[in-house]
Structure 1
């Protein structure tokens, strides 16, 4: 007798559950092989800033990879999956948040909302990349369409996006933020500002721009790209609230980004995003094992670096066709609606 969808869902979660456990030794080792190299490359970058700027840039580029990996530790801490202890997760989360310029409490709340609403067309807007449906886009004025097109332009999203993320979005709380969250953001901002000020005094603003500026820009662009590609592919899952399903959103609305081993390591296995969305308490170092051990997870949409580049074209979601479409497709197949609007 075949299982019902509810039974399949229950079994899927049961099969993944054994991997939802942190191991202190693995977590500590990951901190050592991530944060120490980051500090070393930053140190080398500043050491050569005045004598050989190109070596500094090279060090900054390498450091950006370790910032991404540090962010994965930060990310796991927000889910309470990196350590068994909440206090340990909070301490390490705040430390890695300072290193990556992300306020821990603010990002944790917004990211947990993202997990609870991912793929839900009625609950967009917090912790995700802005995305309109075809009808929503066609209902906009020409001016608003222009700004949406500008926002979805890859040069803006991945070029200006990192600057906006680090300098603006991460520095201010949402209006509904509580006192504790606001304090945490202020604390992070002050510590980051003090560190940057100390570096400027010690090495000069040009060196800081060369090392920290390049590092955070590249890391920010990579982070936005990873977040984008994990949910933006042609047949990604999106539904309106009455039909929305958490497990489907996780497995069908999150991709398996199959990366070369080195990139998989530097990005902390976050390419196994479908596993992460299904079971956020699985620490990054067990995501691959969970994927390999649970056959249904291996059916998730698999994308590679080459195929992921196609996703840059996808700008709007068509709820009727249940797929992403390009602006060109909208202009070609929705001409009547465009004229009417």
Structure 2
């Protein structure tokens, strides 16, 4: 069985092209693409309702001057549910959450109001991430800034300091939500999409203004800012471990292989049951990259059903800490390495 390694293969979405040859077992994954409206609806209920309840409890705790530890625990839990909202949003981006494309678009915009991001812009960038990830000649689409060892050695001192600061865990996970954010991609494309992005951010601002007028600016910011910051930091940690781990795959355009990019360039992040639920199975990231149209609620079952998917070595929470020492891609050794001494 041969695998097409041509660099014009786009595995970012669903349809299998006549000239695109994958291992036979990939065909077994197709049945898990079927979206289930009941499961999607239940996920919305068991995520959005608790999130609103947590906000209400936090507001009341602040207004009644409850102990700080209670408020902090409520904020941390709210942030955890916001991460889950992001994964549901992520499924909508791939049009996999609901059966209907229009339903995915509607709820994609709905979730984006909680996340303070643009659905249209994030979809624009994220689908390119799927089509270009692990390609050294196409970096910069929704990935963590990664330099090769030679690039690092040949760049300026200022750039090396800047890169070292960025890859520092305290900076990456503490300020990463701001460092990874870029101005909307659609600002450089079409007027219609530009208006779409602007309208989204105006609507987010209007909602924030209305809520803050009801509960007070200080209460609103005391809850919203740490919830977004914590959820952003946790989300970046997930994304980092999904694509920055021991044994990860990178290749130049001429040698880039979409199957290897999905299977070896994305990790199986084995999380405890509670974290796996809160992150809606996104730890099965190699499964997601092999077929992005499989909704989150089918990822685990797909993994358990297709034996070949289980060949991916798991990255545990303990092992994920070791991923932070990996800073550069060594093209000679074909692996991620720490900074040189």
1:17-44 per-position Cα deviation (integer Å, ceiling 9, x unaligned): 1101101110000110011111111121
Q: As a proportion of its length, which structure holds more helix? A: 1
Correspondence for 1:236: 248
Query: Could you tell me how far 1:175 is from its partner in structure 2?
Result: 4.5
Q: Distance in 2 between matches of 1:44 and 1:212?
A: 14
Of 83, 90, 93 in structure 2, the residue corresponding to residue 78 of structure 1 is 93
Of 279, 301, 325 in structure 1, the residue corresponding to residue 337 of structure 2 is 325
Correspondence for 1:110: 125
1:309-331 per-position Cα deviation (integer Å, ceiling 9, x unaligned): 0011111011221110001xx23
Query: Equivalent residue of 1:241, what SS?
Result: coil
Correspondence for 2:272: 260
Query: Equivalent residue of 2:172, what SS?
Result: helix
- Asked if 1:247 corresponds to 2:259, the answer is yes
Alpha-carbon RMSD across the aligned residues, in angstroms, is 1.6
- Asked if 1:145 corresponds to 2:157, the answer is no
Correspondence for 1:31: 44
Q: Distance in 2 between matches of 1:146 and 1:176?
A: 30
Structure 1: segments with no counterpart, 5+ residues = 332-341
Correspondence for 2:7: none
State the TM-score, normalized to the length of structure 1. 0.91
Q: Distance in 2 between matches of 1:208 and 1:13?
A: 47
Structure 2: segments with no counterpart, 5+ residues = 5-19
Query: Equivalent residue of 1:9, what SS?
Result: coil
Correspondence for 1:197: 209
Query: Could you tell me how far 1:191 is from its partner in structure 2?
Result: 1.6
Correspondence for 1:21: 34
Of 297, 300, 308 in structure 2, the residue corresponding to residue 288 of structure 1 is 300
- Asked if 1:185 corresponds to 2:197, the answer is yes
Q: Distance in 2 between matches of 1:269 and 1:285?
A: 7
Query: Equivalent residue of 2:136, what SS?
Result: coil
Partners of 1:77 and 1:93 within 8 A in 2: yes
Correspondence for 1:334: none
Correspondence for 1:135: 150
Partners of 1:104 and 1:184 within 8 A in 2: no
Q: Distance in 2 between matches of 1:164 and 1:321?
A: 29
1:269-303 per-position Cα deviation (integer Å, ceiling 9, x unaligned): 00000000000000000000111111111111310
Query: Could you tell me how far 1:164 is from its partner in structure 2?
Result: 4.4
Query: Could you tell me how far 1:234 is from its partner in structure 2?
Result: 2.0
Partners of 1:57 and 1:211 within 8 A in 2: no
Q: Distance in 2 between matches of 1:197 and 1:113?
A: 33
1:94-147 per-position Cα deviation (integer Å, ceiling 9, x unaligned): 000111112100000100000001110010011111100001111111111111
Residues 271 and 136 (structure 1 numbering): CA distance in 2 closer, same or farther, change over 3 Å?
Answer: same
Query: Could you tell me how far 1:249 is from its partner in structure 2?
Result: 0.5
Query: Could you tell me how far 1:173 is from its partner in structure 2?
Result: 3.6
Query: Equivalent residue of 1:271, what SS?
Result: coil
Partners of 2:172 and 2:179 within 8 A in 1: no
Structure 1 residues 304-323: aligned runs within 5 Å: 304-323=316-335
Correspondence for 1:93: 108
Residues 87 and 8 (structure 1 numbering): CA distance in 2 closer, same or farther, change over 3 Å?
Answer: closer
Q: Distance in 1 between matches of 2:198 and 2:246?
A: 39
State the TM-score, normalized to the length of structure 2. 0.91
Query: Could you tell me how far 1:181 is from its partner in structure 2?
Result: 2.6
Partners of 2:263 and 2:289 within 8 A in 1: yes
Query: Equivalent residue of 1:41, what SS?
Result: helix
Query: Could you tell me how far 1:204 is from its partner in structure 2?
Result: 2.3
Query: Could you tell me how far 1:179 is from its partner in structure 2?
Result: 2.5
Higher mean alpha-carbon deviation, 5-14 vs 131-140, is at: 5-14
Correspondence for 1:338: none
1:194-233 per-position Cα deviation (integer Å, ceiling 9, x unaligned): 1221222222232122211111111000111111100101
Residues 121 and 325 (structure 1 numbering): CA distance in 2 closer, same or farther, change over 3 Å?
Answer: same
Equivalenced residues, count: 324
1:52-94 per-position Cα deviation (integer Å, ceiling 9, x unaligned): 2623322111111111111111000000100111110000000
Q: Distance in 1 between matches of 2:272 and 2:246?
A: 22
Q: Distance in 2 between matches of 1:173 and 1:248?
A: 28
Partners of 1:251 and 1:274 within 8 A in 2: yes
Q: Distance in 1 between matches of 2:255 and 2:67?
A: 55
